[in-house]
């Protein structure tokens, strides 16, 4: 049986339609709340800006707000760099997984997975496989961005953990 890390990386890579230009970025956190409590927070896409420090605004491009086919734009800022990330939900497994396809300037696939650890803990895993355009440095940009994005996303997961652990069970 594969480990959750292997499954997350394979799943992200499986969404790629072009040859790899970077390794998938995979971060995780253990949240001391049951999976259904964590899901209640991450399933509300418009609230991602409340725990993702790099996401500044989300605008829906479809009337639906959840499920496969939901499309949205997310304004993203890391330091002086800004972009509008266009995403479409490609998988929605209630209580367990949300996968997206990035179709803006930065392309690729991303996935959130929630795995129960006993009755009251959840592993929340975030895996992204991104391709950067030439004006963000393409392969070189991806290798430079990797440690920065890893740091930002780990900070985002600490923020999500604090937020969800502040909720009643």
pLDDT tens-digit map of 33-76: 999 999 999 999 999 999 999 999 999 999 999 999 999 999 98
Give the pLDDT of residue 104.
Answer: 81
Query: Which tokens hold the place of 13?
Result: 């890579």
The conformational region for residue 58 under phi > 0 = left, psi -120 to 50 = alpha, else beta, is: beta
pLDDT confidence tier of residue 142, bands split at 50, 70 and 90: low
Which tops the pLDDT comparison, 79 or 4?
A: 79
Which tops the pLDDT comparison, 143 or 20?
A: 143
Give the pLDDT of residue 66.
Answer: 97
The CATH number for 120's domain is: 3.30.530.20
Between the alpha carbon of residue 39 and those of residues 13, 47, 61, 92, 108, the distances in Å are 23, 12, 22, 11, 23
- Is pLDDT above 60 for 118? yes
pLDDT confidence tier of residue 147, bands split at 50, 70 and 90: confident
For residue 76, give its domain range.
4-165
- Is pLDDT above 90 for 83? no
Give the pLDDT of residue 129.
Answer: 85
Q: Which residue has the tokens 């209580």?
A: 95
Q: Are 128 and 110 in contact (CB under 8 A)?
A: yes
Residue 14 neighbours by CB distance under 10 Å: 11
The conformational region for residue 90 under phi > 0 = left, psi -120 to 50 = alpha, else beta, is: alpha
Query: Which tokens hold the place of 154?
Result: 């780990």
Asked whether the CA dihedral 33, 35, 40, 45 is positive or negative, the reply is positive
Q: b/e string for 54-73 if b means 16 or more Cβ within 10 A?
A: bbeebeeeeeeeeeeebbbe
* Strands 107-117, 71-78: pairing kind: unpaired
Q: If we measure between CA atoms, which residue out of 95, 96, 74 comes closest to residue 86? A: 74
pTM of structure: 0.82
pLDDT confidence tier of residue 137, bands split at 50, 70 and 90: low
- Is pLDDT above 70 for 84? yes
- Is pLDDT above 70 for 135? no
Domain total for the chain? 1
- Is pLDDT above 70 for 113? yes
């Amino acid at each position: 049986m594969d480990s959750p890390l292997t499954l997350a990386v394979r799943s992200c890579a499986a969404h790629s339609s072009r040859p790899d230009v970077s390794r998938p970025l995979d971060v995780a956190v253990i949240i001391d709340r049951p999976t259904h409590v964590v899901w209640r927070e991450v399933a509300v896409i418009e609230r991602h800006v409340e725990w993702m420090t790099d996401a500044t605004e989300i605008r829906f491009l479809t009337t639906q707000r959840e499920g496969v086919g939901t499309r949205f734009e997310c304004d993203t800022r890391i330091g002086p760099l800004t972009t509008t990330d266009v995403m479409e939900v490609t998988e929605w497994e209630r209580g367990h997984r949300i996968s997206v396809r990035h179709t803006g300037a930065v392309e690729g696939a991303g996935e959130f997975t929630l795995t129960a650890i006993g009755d009251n803990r959840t592993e929340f895993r975030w895996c992204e496989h991104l391709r950067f355009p030439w004006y963000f440095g393409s392969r070189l940009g991806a290798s430079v961005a990797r440690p920065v994005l890893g740091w930002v996303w780990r900070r985002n997961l600490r923020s999500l953990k604090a937020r969800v652990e502040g909720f009643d069970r």
